[in-house]
Structure 1
Amino acid sequence: MTDTAKPNDIAKGLEGVVFTESKLTFIDGAQGILTHLGIPIEEWAEKSTFEEVSYALLHTKLPSAAELAQFDAELRANREVPAKLLADVAAYPRTANPMQALRTAISELGLHDAQSEDTSDEARYAISVRLIAQFSTVIAAVARALGGQAAVAPRADLTHAANFLYMLTGKEPTTEQARLFDIALVLHADHGMNASTFTAIATASTLSDMYSCVVSAIGALKGPLHGGANEAVMGMLDEIGTPDKAEAYITAKLDNKEKIMGVGHRVYKNFDPRSRVLRDYAEHVASKEGKSNYYQILETIERIVVERMGSRGIYPNVDFYSGTVYADLGIKKEYFTPIFALARISGWCASVIEYTRDNRLLRPDALYSGATNQHYVELKDRK
């Protein structure tokens, strides 16, 4: 910062700082509104697919039927990854953090891409299509490798969501399972200037390559303050155990001013609209599969949190219910954050492409608060 800056001029966490324009995502946290290209997230979830959302974010427009079919065909054609990469993933330590493994694998994936160093708009787009397609293959391979299983080859006859579940489990999902997972991907595809998207843009602003931008984003998402909240929610549910213990558990947490996982959001001071969509699906799956314990616990937690904290703008967020949806699909909780990345790759790529079309190197200032008027002291004279 300049010499005239004062400590109260610092925007901690860059909160409230506007550094660019975007046509992708709008969020009104006070009203609980989230839109992509001006279209409410609820409509995307109800009527669209992850393939279409990905196209819309990359092109900033809805596709025609022909454009969507071509884009879908490109995704299906680019699902395979190099055999050498799969062999390397299979050799990762079984104790590796899945996000560590994903970060490493995507970095290596760039080594196999002859176009990886090309930072032109056209190359960034082509790489984005490949990354969206291949993220699912890499994540499924990581999950199977760390579990001691061989990778399952992708199938071009399945949708993006169905193909991932097939590669993850080795079994073709039902139409309902595939659609449920597709909706979860749609809800997580982009969310404005979150930490990982900002990190990708910061890297892109140096005119670095697309793979470096995405690996940077993965590193940011790995942090528990960004990704991983839905995994923590599942840990909380397991700790509570049964619905009859939920009220006492949450009341004690609130009385002791302890954090409730999946509750509260930096942006939203109302219900996260994505959580409303997932709540309905979580309820449906719980009743259909006879797995009502998790949902009943969450329902109790939500009621108490809203009663006691709603007036302060603290409500359940998207992570509150997403974990139960993933768990009901047979996905282990340690892979919830990689699946977050599986969805957010579209938003990361779209944001990098959008920002670098009118690029400016990101170079913020910091207010110096250290010592002044000091002089070097010879090593022999130091105490």
Structure 2
Amino acid sequence: MAIASASSVTSSVVKPRNTITVVDNRTGKSIEIEITNNSIPATAFSQLKAPYADGERTENDTPYGLRILDPSFINTAMIQSEITYIDGNKGFLMHRGYPIEQLAEKSSYLETAYLLIYGELPSKSQSDLWTWEIMHHTFVADDLQQMIRQMRYDSHPMSVFISAFAAMSAFAPEANPSLQGNDIYINNKGLMNKQIVRILGKATTVAAMAYRIRINRPFTPPRSDLSYTENLLYMMDHMAEPNSYRPDPRLAKALDILFILHADHEMNCSTAAMVHVGSSLVDPYSCVAAASAALYGPLHGGANEAVIRMLTKIGSVENVPVFLDAVKQKKELLFGFGHRVYRETDPRSKVIREVADMVFEVCGREPLIEVAIALKDAALKDEYFTSRKLFPNVDYWSGLIYKAMGFPLDFFPVLFVVPRVSGYLAHWKQQLESGKNKISRPRQVYVGKSRRDYIPVEARVERTITGQNGLTEIPHYISKRRLTKI
């Protein structure tokens, strides 16, 4: 029997190519697409063109290439990034290569913010300058303060925060590409850095103002001799005490760790909004306002508030089994469990659970923690929830800590957005400096009416007023005095 030589065996092995071949069964055409970093360009599919099939809608644009439909961006990457990495299957999160657990234990929020924005941990001199600049950019223009003071006392604090940042762009015309030119941040790094420290410095001041409006108290000027989170707590809580008053350092440290945990989380809804809006080259203040508005929604930044409302509704440990049964029957919603990315435990939730004990030592044990622990233990023993990868996330514990510290529920999203500003700025800076910035313009798949001709109102078929096809009657309060007929 002949034995093949080693060289002939080797030559018969086909070396795998780092590509994917797609065959269009409509036309038989095939295309080979290169795989880079386990991704392929969606634009490659535009090469797959075909004639209209019999009876096909022309609105499908079939001869112009295949489009990729991915509602809510379930599996579409919108950028290449060097900032944050998440392994959802292993429950792992890192910023610029550093695991979140190490940063939470050893770093500070401002140092982590520097890491996110500039790519490396700062040296001693860089850290000193960074902290000095941010803490000396905390004051808000008096005219802007007056505008913020006009907000109603019952305004949602996030509405105040968003409005203030939207208005802030009017106070920095030199930072507006619409006024100064498209390339101002590429040609002037000093100008970019100035906006970064301005935004980080003023974020805590605006947040404190939103809180003081809510409790009907005058604004407290910031102090540059305090740490970032100390200053926030000082501006929120200082009343008639001497200026030597300082917040409890344990609470400031706990809040600093929470800020690290919330600093960035890859392409979440609000960060994607920051990148999307920033692609138009609008000023960074407007970008932050837009991103904050995205975070404002209850499916994003309001999740920890929803957890507290859920635990309050459960009321006691004894009611946990009944509640979980109701969840299984789709009669109740389970908040604080599961994540769009994580398929195992959210790594931030492990750290945040330890922070809770630090806060409870100062403020007392939050009564709802017993309900939270019982709910967590019961859910993790139930195949219904574990099979669906429903594990506690960061929102599950953070709300309990904020409640224990005495923050009102509607202020929880503000405590989320303030630290997330550093992540927003990191992605904004990365996008502008990438040299690949193009205005974001997603495609759509049109499934509406085909072409039709205009019909004059006299010739249209009369339809009853329903919510399905038009405006329904809107209830208004009208004084009887105005209904008097003459």
- Shorter-chain TM-score category? over 0.9
Gapped regions of structure 1 (runs ≥ 5): none
- The whole-number CA distance in structure 2 between the counterparts of 1:83 and 1:8 is 51
| Amino acid aligned to 2:61 | D
Do the aligned partners of 1:124 and 1:210 also contact (CA within 8 Å) in 2?
Answer: no
Do the aligned partners of residues 58 and 113 (structure 1) sit closer, same or farther apart at CA in structure 2, a change above 3 Å counting? same
> SS of the counterpart of 1:246?
helix
- Report the equivalent of 2:448: 370
> In structure 1, what is the equivalent of residue 192 of structure 2?
124
- Retained in 1: the 8 A contact 2:175–2:283? yes
Q: Which amino acid aligns with 2:74?
A: E
User: 2:155 matched to which residue of 1?
Assistant: 96
- Once the two structures are overlaid, the 10-residue window that deviates more, 212-221 or 370-379, is 370-379
What is the aligned partner in structure 2 of residue 56 from structure 1?
115
Q: Deviations over 1:8-47 (max 9, x none)?
A: 9521101110121111100111111110001111111001
Out of 226, 251, 263, which is 1:158 matched to? 226
Does the Cα contact within 8 Å between 1:205 and 1:360 map onto a contact in 2?
Answer: yes
* Distance of 1:134 and 1:8 partners within structure 2: 43
SS across alignment from 1:312: coil
Match of residue 102 from structure 2 = 43
Q: 1:181 aligns with which of 236, 252, 255?
A: 255
Superposed CA offset, 1:95-122 (max 9, x none):
2121111111111222222433145142
Which residue does 1:295 correspond to in 2? 369
Q: Distance in 1 between matches of 2:361 and 2:399?
A: 16
Counting only pairs closer than 5 Å after superposition, residues 182-221 of structure 1 correspond to structure 2 as 182-221=256-295
Write the distance in 2 (CA, Å) between the matches of 1:270 and 1:206.
36
**1:25/1:192 contact within 8 Å kept:** yes
| Aligned twin of 2:348 | 274
CA distance in 2, matches of 1:186, 1:219: 21
Question: Of 287, 303, 320, which residue of structure 1 is paired with 2:396?
Answer: 320
- Measured at CA, do residues 267 and 8 of structure 1 come closer, stay the same or move farther in structure 2, by a change above 3 Å? farther
Q: Is the 8 A contact 2:366 2:403 kept in 1?
A: no
Out of 120, 133, 136, which is 2:201 matched to? 133
Decide whether the 8 Å contact of 1:228 with 1:337 is kept in 2. yes
Q: Which residue of 2 is the match for residue 265 of structure 1?
A: 339
CA-atom RMSD in angstroms: 2.1
Asked whether the 8 Å contact 1:140–1:168 carries over to 2, the reply is yes
| Corresponding residue to 2:86 among 27, 49, 52 | 27
C-alpha displacement at 1:162, in angstroms?
0.7
Give per-residue Cα distances to partners, 1:266-292, cap 9 Å, x unaligned: 111111111111112224433664425
Pairs within 5 Å for 1:233-244: 233-244=307-318
Normalising by structure 2, report the TM-score.
Answer: 0.75
Give the secondary-structure state (helix, strand or coil) at the position aligned to 1:35. strand
Contact 2:305 2:412 in 1 (8 A): yes
Measured after TM superposition, the shift of residue 232 of structure 1 is 1.1
- Is residue 151–residue 167 contact of structure 1 (8 Å, CA) maintained in 2? yes
> What's the offset of the Cα at 1:223?
1.2
Amino acid at match of 2:407: I
Of 339, 344, 355, the residue aligned with 2:420 is 344
Preserved CA contact (<8 Å) 1:275 1:317: yes
Give secondary structure in 1 for the equivalent of 2:93.
strand
In structure 2, relative to structure 1, the CA distance for the partners of 1:334 and 1:72 (3 Å cut) is: same
Moved more, 240-249 or 293-302: 240-249
CA contact (8 A) 2:254 2:359 kept: no
Opposite residue 14 of structure 1, the aligned amino acid is: F
Instruction: Give the corresponding residue for 2:213.
Output: 145
Larger helix fraction of residues? 1
- Contact kept in structure 2, 1:7 and 1:367, CA below 8 Å: no
CA distance in 1, matches of 2:282, 2:169: 12
1:244 is displaced (CA, Å) by 3.5
- 2:255 maps to amino acid: F
Structure with the greater relative contact order (CA < 8 A, sep ≥ 6): 1 or 2?
1
Deviates more, 1:249-258 or 1:158-167: 249-258
**Structure 1's 58 and 98: CA in aligned 2 closer, same or farther, altered over 3 A?**
same
> Partners in 2 of 1:235 and 1:55 — Cα distance?
35
Secondary structure at 2:174's aligned position in 1?
coil
What is the total number of aligned residue pairs between the two structures? 383
Moved more, 313-322 or 301-310: 301-310
